[in-house]
Copies of this chain bind each other. A is one copy, B any other.
């Protein structure tokens, strides 16, 4: 799309000045509407080195009150610490809250196109990244984000002139990077790569706008115009429902909760103690090995209130080196979490390579409590199965082992445990009115859990049921599953997913 780009007509200078002022006023004027609609806006600027995206950005944001935006600069390659996270991680962390802008001076495009130019990204990897990006942008859009992408375009000749001018002045010389010079000397090759990238990621949910950046006032006017137009459209579409996509991930057949026998799943104290010690030792050794092999692990716990999640987690962590794991207890989101994409606070908590992250309750809250309590719309939770499968696919492709546990008990067992908590002073803090209220909705929850397990048991992130009427049985089963999964990954017997 870059190669075929035809420049638009440009008004003359004085008219341009007035038009810029009008667009600026329009942008300022829409801030309160954006705030009221809680619309989060991502404005991404990419382009040729020296095309002036930085200075144009500087002018555009000056029309916006600082309370409404952040500007994020992505220069060059990720740091060593960022490299210990998935490709998307450092970008996703900076998405705006509802009602605010994030302006990006550079985003993930150049991390990819530079690698293509240098030949360090294979066509398969390139295709995978494009897929990740398109999915992520779609998921952001579906959750209410406006994404506007600009490419600042100049000709080879114009770029050469600008870089030379910058280099002539001792005060601006440092602003020209080696990469800029390389880009200019390989302009045609880069044009091919950029053109393809723009085409591959040009979707109506996050379209590209090519800015004619030869003349800086024109660039400013075009950017403001496209931005205002996009905001108008987004504000009008705020209430629209989003299509529910069909699942495209390989699913594993799972039983309904009511079909899972709970009787007889018990262990004697001796069996328990003996096995526990053995498994803990085994897990400890595996933990060191995966730390050294830099494999990240995500263990997700969901289950009925009082099913025994906490004690179960403790038996896992008891075997682990505290430097290599973190437990994330998930409560209702804080305001700054709630005003972003619902998966943001989990992206924020994914483990570094070689580390284990254990979630005590998870992103599945979206299709359980948020669904049943009406904390999100029906359209939201219906979309969430696919959004979650995509999220987990991203982690799995990165190399993470994902283990999901549903801790299962029956209604009578829950009642007995609730009563015990209520009557035991040291345990009383563990039981709240909300627990009793949730219990009344047992059947609704059971339906939701069945649907969740059916729709999100992917081959790369299966659900495992832990029968926990006898907590000892559930703990041993969890340890065995974790050990099996780690072994499979460490001994290289894992299928390529």
Contacts and interface: CB of A to CB of B under 8 A. Distances in A.
A447 to B, nearest CB: 28
A320 B32 contact: no
Contact of A329 (B66, B172, B358): B66
A64 to B, nearest CB: 10
B58 A320 contact: yes
Interface stretch (A239-247, A311-319, A366-374, A382-390): A311-319
A169 B292 CA distance: 15
Interface stretch (A73-81, A120-128, A176-184, A394-402): A73-81
A327 B58 contact: no
Interface string A24-66: 0000110010000000000000000000001101100110011
A58 B288 contact: no
Nearest to A62: B318
Contact of A67 (B73, B322, B329): B329
Contact of A429 (B32, B174, B334, B336): B32
Contacts of A360: 66-67
A384 B437 CA distance: 45
A57 B65 CA distance: 47
A270 interface: no
A165 to B, nearest CB: 15
A32 B429 CA distance: 8
B288 A323 contact: no
Nearest to A429: B32
Given A80-B79, A288-B171, A317-B62, A57 B322 contact: yes
B326 A71 contact: yes
A219 to B, nearest CB: 15
A320 to B, nearest CB: 7
Q: Report the contact-size class of chain A (Cβ under 8 Å from the partner).
A: 35 or more
A54 B323 contact: yes
Contacts of A327: 66
B62 A314 contact: yes
A73 B105 contact: no
Contacts of A289: 171
Contacts of A65: 310, 329
A42 to B, nearest CB: 16
A54 B292 CA distance: 17
A67 to B, nearest CB: 4
B321 A54 contact: yes
Which one of A65, A318, A360 has the highest number of Cβ atoms from chain B below 10 Å of its Cβ? Answer: A65
A217 interface: no
A105 B58 contact: no
A61 B327 CA distance: 11
A70 B326 contact: yes
A172 B323 contact: no
26 contacts: A29-B426, A54-B323, A55-B321, A58-B320, A61-B322, A65-B310, A65-B329, A66-B310, A66-B317, A66-B327, A66-B329, A66-B358, A67-B329, A71-B322, A71-B326, A73-B322, A75-B323, A105-B323, A171-B285, A171-B288, A171-B289, A172-B288, A174-B292, A334-B335, A334-B336, A336-B336
